[in-house]
Chains A and B, each alone.
Chain A
Amino acid sequence: MRPEEEFKKIAGDIKIIANAAEKEMYSHDIGDVPHIMTKTFFQTQPDFVVQPQNVDEIRKILAFAHEKKISVIPRGAASWGFGGVIPTKGGIVIDLSPLRRILTLDKKNKTITVEAGARWSDIDILAKKDDLCLMSYPSSKFSTVAGWISTGGYGINSYRYGHISKQIVSMTVVTPLGKVMKLTPSDPDFSWFISTEGTCGIIYDVTLKLRDLPKSSYAHIFYFLTDKDAFYFIEQAARQKTAANVIRFVDANHMRETNEIMHANVFKEEAGVLVEFSNPGDEQNFLDLVKKFGNYEQSPGYAATYLWNERLFGMKAKRLGPTLLASEVILPISASAKFIEKAKKLGSNYGVEICIDSYILDQTKALIMTTFLCDSRKLKYYFHMPLVSMLTQTAVSMGAQPYGLGIWNAAFVNHLYTKDHQSQFNAYKATVDPYGIMNPGKFLRVNSKFMNIPALAFHPLFFGLSMRLLILLSPIIGRIATLLFGRDKKVDSLDLELSTHACAKCGNCIAVCPAYLVTRNEALTAKGKVALAKKLIAGETVTPEEAATAFMCMHCRACEEICQTNLDLMTLWDALERRLEANFGRPDDRIKEFLKTVDGSKEYWDMVERNS
């Protein structure tokens, strides 16, 4: 008997997704990794997907998986691009994205308790009504709470409020052995659920600290002729432990891209440092402080405000790609400028333009995101992908830590955790997950098909060696590739086909989609429909069921409003529906049924009200 049939017998109310088309969505994350690297090496298609709605259902699923020794892959908004949610040998994907209720807000103690799948954006909107707000949050604000806790945990306001683990009052976790634990930071188990990428158990709920809502936001951009000057400034400023919420570095290329996206010259195409404060007092103190360092040029206020407001749309540049690749590391501030210099040289060998965006984490460390645009539709992409690892390799050899492991960074594990820490982790994991069913094949160890031979590529020893070799040879390989394939031109305007490629699969749209809220079906969200459009355009077969699903849409524009890459989604829906209607007809009865369900849903009306 197939596992999903067996599970169905005990599933009760748990929603199960087992049809191939829908399962397909659960076989990847935001990364544009060619099938050759995923499907060939790993069994990325899950056996089935479940959407539990409470702790008991999670326990039930884990108990089943434990008994059958089937892998379990926790999944939030799937906005993390390192392969964390990609199955490596099938198994059960536990989709926690619909488990997103905000349970209680304690105004007096300024805390909020939410389910694992709650979106940072929803929490902030709700808290604001009580004059409270989040301390820190990822720039992927539409991702899930547990997703960020399980991964990097650094983002906006981390300079001021520290790592997300510092803001957790408690959290409830469920282990494969069926243990439900309410953990506080002082519990020894606590740290094994922070940034461990879903390998120790499932986070069910979290109680977070909130802060008072600031009246306003005060942003400034300082310009510098060189990256080195900028980081020298940052080093001095960060050391003073100022009251800035954010200190962020963006390089000249990033500024240029922002200008290009806006079709306007708002920013000087120089290195910039963005700082942001909650009140004029803090702002003034900082301005007084930097006066002592020197006289720096500042952007106009509106430009600073714009860049600040765009912080949630870090992948907008994908419009120019349509593919955006990234390497993320945590580096000493003092080494950052040097790293950027090397990264840019490496990039130029491959004919790409390196962009840097960096959040300062504390007095000494910077989270550095190195990105470049390319085109996954082209052959050259196979030369561009390893460039990501080369960039990370360059950083770690300068003292950096990789910002998460997943599958694609697993080879850098020794730069993140000491051997000692790794064996402590393995010992703990053996106690909570003796059969190793939790998110296997990544993090500390990659497994693959074919007796694990391909996975050797990700073995730290082998990987590090080959990367170093590649970097060494990059002036030659890169130039040859550029010669052979030419440089990629930036995309100026997006047609339908390009739009489908420019979609970052970030899942912003899922968080706000009322149709998803009610149906819990990712296929009818913008992300799902863009994928469907891509299929249609590529001439792949589309089932009548997939076609009908695409019509379950309120045409509410919510997806378009928050789309990471600013896609013209409403136009896309009209075009898509026209095409589907011509081929399959219009599912009028289902639309009616759908509208009835939406109308009768309390959650739907809560969402409508919340966003009013």
Chain B
Amino acid sequence: MPKKYHIDIKATPLNRDFVSKFKIARGENCINCGKCTKVCIYEAHKRGAKDPRKIDDPHMALCKNCFRCIQECPRGALVKSLDPDFLALGGSYWKPDMLLSIWKQAEDGKVPVSGAGYRGPFTGPGFDGMWTDMSEIVRPTRDGIHGREYISTAVDLGRKLNHLNFADTGSLASNIHQTVDLPIPIIFDIPACKLSNNIMTSFVISAVAAGTFAIMPANDISADIKQYINNIIPLVSPDKITAHQSLISGARLVAIEYATALLNDFGSVKDSIKKISQAVTIVRIPAMTGIEDAVTKLARSGAEVIHIVADYRGMEAPGLRQRFLKDVVRAVHLRLIEERIRDEITIIVSGGIAMAEHVPKAIICGADLIAVDIPLLVALGALLYEQPEMTITLPDWLEKLPAATVVQRIVNLMGAWHSQLLEVMGAMGIREVRRLRGETGRAIFFDEIDKDTFGKLFQQRETASI
């Protein structure tokens, strides 16, 4: 048994206004009785610093939305409303709730409990269109989190053989390929917006702390970041391999930007890498029409790991039709199975991974692991807007945060996602995340079931729950 993955979670609340879902406003009819200051254990309500006879406006950054103050106020003077800033956040895919949930997970590393975090709809677009089979939910699933029941979330990257070919002499005929083990099926993708060198450094250190990797364009890797090369995946274009020789030589994983030429020429690219290092090579390819063919071709020409990159909402590049990540992955996975080469290749997917539950869902669809980008920044207070165009803004206080805090928040997020993965796997009765891959039989895909019966039923329940 591999050694138990341990992730060091530490509550790191910033007590800053990220966004709050609700605004609690104190009405004119407040009698300054002070009851709210007593019932709120988070001290969001306080008597005025200047005039203690009057109660200050609620400090929403501290509010945990338990609504106790609202219930207990003898005058009904406190009203909650959805914060307009909150509503403006995100968009059709990145629901404001998701962003808030990510922020909260970064604060304390805890799996969101219902009522406090994101409560997914019964069905909907994207990953909401699938449900995982939690038939074993009756079991105390949180055992997984506390390690009483051993569940492995470890994956490895690199080429595996269908079967080992033994020579007649009994010695191993096939080459044993280099692989890289990861304790969690998550790596950090290229940051979704430009980060300062300081933050970038902390970002990489958090990958080290979480025992995973961060993908970075080779050009962005500064001298002081380079020391963490053991946990960095430099991204280079195929024609720049020699130029980045020194980086590649220290790396355990290297990512190559996709170009059509690669389809026929992967061997030579791999060879030029091999000359420099033993690094496992990842081909980073955008999700697009015909991706199944491209992946098959790459696998056949010796690619070890393929990273399929969808856009920030999980959509493939516009083409004949535009599929969502889950459908892209399923198509690729199925094709590779048909071609009997699924186990020869590791599939990483990214784009639109917004919540912890998207990790097991993407794996069920056929990915080996996922790369995450936007949520890592949201953990640091980044705000994402889909409209009028996708923008990510970093808070101005980010630079002033101590490096340790930045690191811990990302670690917390990963800790929360890891816990949730354990919970889902526990509920499904699966002990190894490797076995989860492609287990589509353990999920319900709403777009495939009889829409007239279930569809309506779920639709109704969805509206009823709002």
A interface, CB within 8 angstroms of B: 514, 551, 553-558, 591-592, 595, 599, 608-609, 611-612
From A553, A592, A608, give the contact of B33 (CB < 8 A). Answer: A608
B35 CB-CB contact with A under 8 Å:
yes
Q: Is the CB of B53 within 8 A of A557?
A: no
List the A side residues contacting B32 at CB < 8 Å: 554-556
Q: Is the CB of B75 within 8 A of A612?
A: yes
Q: Is the CB of A611 within 8 A of B53?
A: no
- Identity of the chain A residue whose Cβ is nearest the Cβ of B75 in the assembled complex: A612
Q: Is the CB of A591 within 8 A of B53?
A: yes
List the B side residues contacting A557 at CB < 8 Å: 29, 31
14 contacts between A and B (CB under 8 A): A554-B32, A554-B53, A555-B53, A555-B54, A557-B29, A557-B31, A591-B52, A591-B53, A595-B34, A595-B53, A599-B34, A608-B74, A609-B74, A611-B74
List the B side residues contacting A551 at CB < 8 Å: 53
List the B side residues contacting A609 at CB < 8 Å: 74
Q: 1/0 per residue B32-75: CB within 8 Å of A? A: 11110000000000010000111000000000000000000011
Q: Is the CB of A612 within 8 A of B74?
A: yes
Give the number of chain B interface residues (Cβ < 8 Å). 12
State the CA gap A609–B72 with chains docked (Å): 10
List the B side residues contacting A555 at CB < 8 Å: 32, 53-54
State the CA gap A555–B77 with chains docked (Å): 14
Can you add 15 more A-B contacts, CB < 8 Å, to A609-B74, A612-B75?
A: A514-B33, A551-B53, A553-B53, A554-B31, A554-B33, A555-B54, A591-B52, A591-B53, A592-B52, A595-B34, A599-B34, A608-B33, A608-B35, A608-B74, A611-B74
- Identity of the chain B residue whose Cβ is nearest the Cβ of A558 in the assembled complex: B31
Known contacts A555-B54, A608-B74, A611-B74: A595-B47 contact under CB 8 Å: yes
B17 → A minimal CB distance (Å): 27
State the CA gap A556–B31 with chains docked (Å): 4
A487 → B minimal CB distance (Å): 39
- Identity of the chain A residue whose Cβ is nearest the Cβ of B37 in the assembled complex: A599
Nearest 6 pairs between A and B by C-beta?
A612-B74, A556-B31, A608-B33, A608-B74, A554-B32, A555-B32
B 180-203 contacts with A by CB, 8 A: none
State the CA gap A612–B29 with chains docked (Å): 12
List the B side residues contacting A599 at CB < 8 Å: 34
B368 → A minimal CB distance (Å): 59
Q: Is the CB of B52 within 8 A of A556?
A: no
State the CA gap A551–B54 with chains docked (Å): 12
A590 → B minimal CB distance (Å): 11
List the B side residues contacting A611 at CB < 8 Å: 74
A100 → B minimal CB distance (Å): 19
State the CA gap A551–B52 with chains docked (Å): 11
- Identity of the chain B residue whose Cβ is nearest the Cβ of A592 in the assembled complex: B52
B interface, CB within 8 angstroms of A: 29, 31-35, 47, 52-54, 74-75
State the CA gap A554–B33 with chains docked (Å): 7
List the B side residues contacting A556 at CB < 8 Å: 31-33
A70 → B minimal CB distance (Å): 39
- Identity of the chain B residue whose Cβ is nearest the Cβ of A554 in the assembled complex: B32
- Identity of the chain A residue whose Cβ is nearest the Cβ of B31 in the assembled complex: A556
A399 → B minimal CB distance (Å): 49
State the CA gap A553–B31 with chains docked (Å): 11
List the B side residues contacting A592 at CB < 8 Å: 52
- Identity of the chain B residue whose Cβ is nearest the Cβ of A598 in the assembled complex: B34
- Identity of the chain A residue whose Cβ is nearest the Cβ of B72 in the assembled complex: A612
B91 → A minimal CB distance (Å): 42
List the B side residues contacting A591 at CB < 8 Å: 52-53
From A514, A558, A595, A612, give the contact of B52 (CB < 8 A). Answer: A595
State the CA gap A553–B75 with chains docked (Å): 18
Q: Is the CB of A608 within 8 A of B31?
A: yes
List the A side residues contacting B29 at CB < 8 Å: 557
State the CA gap A608–B72 with chains docked (Å): 11
State the CA gap A609–B34 with chains docked (Å): 12
State the CA gap A599–B38 with chains docked (Å): 10
State the CA gap A556–B32 with chains docked (Å): 6
State the CA gap A514–B31 with chains docked (Å): 10
State the CA gap A426–B309 with chains docked (Å): 105
B432 → A minimal CB distance (Å): 56
State the CA gap A611–B54 with chains docked (Å): 19
State the CA gap A591–B50 with chains docked (Å): 11
B293 → A minimal CB distance (Å): 70
B401 → A minimal CB distance (Å): 35
State the CA gap A595–B47 with chains docked (Å): 10
- Identity of the chain B residue whose Cβ is nearest the Cβ of A596 in the assembled complex: B52
- Identity of the chain B residue whose Cβ is nearest the Cβ of A577 in the assembled complex: B51
State the CA gap A532–B207 with chains docked (Å): 69
B459 → A minimal CB distance (Å): 41
- Identity of the chain B residue whose Cβ is nearest the Cβ of A586 in the assembled complex: B51
A428 → B minimal CB distance (Å): 47
State the CA gap A556–B54 with chains docked (Å): 9
State the CA gap A608–B31 with chains docked (Å): 9
State the CA gap A592–B53 with chains docked (Å): 8
State the CA gap A554–B54 with chains docked (Å): 7
- Identity of the chain B residue whose Cβ is nearest the Cβ of A609 in the assembled complex: B74
State the CA gap A563–B29 with chains docked (Å): 16
- Identity of the chain B residue whose Cβ is nearest the Cβ of A599 in the assembled complex: B34
A512 → B minimal CB distance (Å): 10
State the CA gap A551–B35 with chains docked (Å): 21
B15 → A minimal CB distance (Å): 25
List the B side residues contacting A558 at CB < 8 Å: 31
B436 → A minimal CB distance (Å): 53
List the A side residues contacting B74 at CB < 8 Å: 608-609, 611-612
B86 → A minimal CB distance (Å): 30
A501 → B minimal CB distance (Å): 27
State the CA gap A556–B35 with chains docked (Å): 13
List the A side residues contacting B33 at CB < 8 Å: 514, 554, 556, 608
State the CA gap A555–B29 with chains docked (Å): 11
State the CA gap A609–B29 with chains docked (Å): 15
B43 → A minimal CB distance (Å): 15
Chain A CB count within 10 A is highest, among B31, B47, B53, B54, for B53
B330 → A minimal CB distance (Å): 57
State the CA gap A599–B47 with chains docked (Å): 12
A504 → B minimal CB distance (Å): 23
State the CA gap A556–B55 with chains docked (Å): 11
State the CA gap A608–B32 with chains docked (Å): 10
List the A side residues contacting B54 at CB < 8 Å: 555
A599 → B minimal CB distance (Å): 6
List the B side residues contacting A595 at CB < 8 Å: 34, 47, 52-53
- Identity of the chain B residue whose Cβ is nearest the Cβ of A570 in the assembled complex: B28
A607 → B minimal CB distance (Å): 9
State the CA gap A551–B53 with chains docked (Å): 9
- Identity of the chain A residue whose Cβ is nearest the Cβ of B35 in the assembled complex: A608
List the A side residues contacting B31 at CB < 8 Å: 554, 556-558, 608
State the CA gap A609–B35 with chains docked (Å): 10
A15 → B minimal CB distance (Å): 24
- Identity of the chain B residue whose Cβ is nearest the Cβ of A552 in the assembled complex: B53
State the CA gap A556–B75 with chains docked (Å): 11
State the CA gap A599–B36 with chains docked (Å): 12
List the A side residues contacting B34 at CB < 8 Å: 595, 599
B74 → A minimal CB distance (Å): 3
State the CA gap A556–B30 with chains docked (Å): 7
State the CA gap A331–B33 with chains docked (Å): 47
B48 → A minimal CB distance (Å): 10
A379 → B minimal CB distance (Å): 42
State the CA gap A557–B53 with chains docked (Å): 12
B372 → A minimal CB distance (Å): 48
List the A side residues contacting B52 at CB < 8 Å: 591-592, 595
B149 → A minimal CB distance (Å): 48
A593 → B minimal CB distance (Å): 11
State the CA gap A558–B53 with chains docked (Å): 14
State the CA gap A539–B43 with chains docked (Å): 44
State the CA gap A402–B35 with chains docked (Å): 48
State the CA gap A60–B106 with chains docked (Å): 68
State the CA gap A609–B54 with chains docked (Å): 19
- Identity of the chain A residue whose Cβ is nearest the Cβ of B38 in the assembled complex: A599
State the CA gap A558–B29 with chains docked (Å): 10
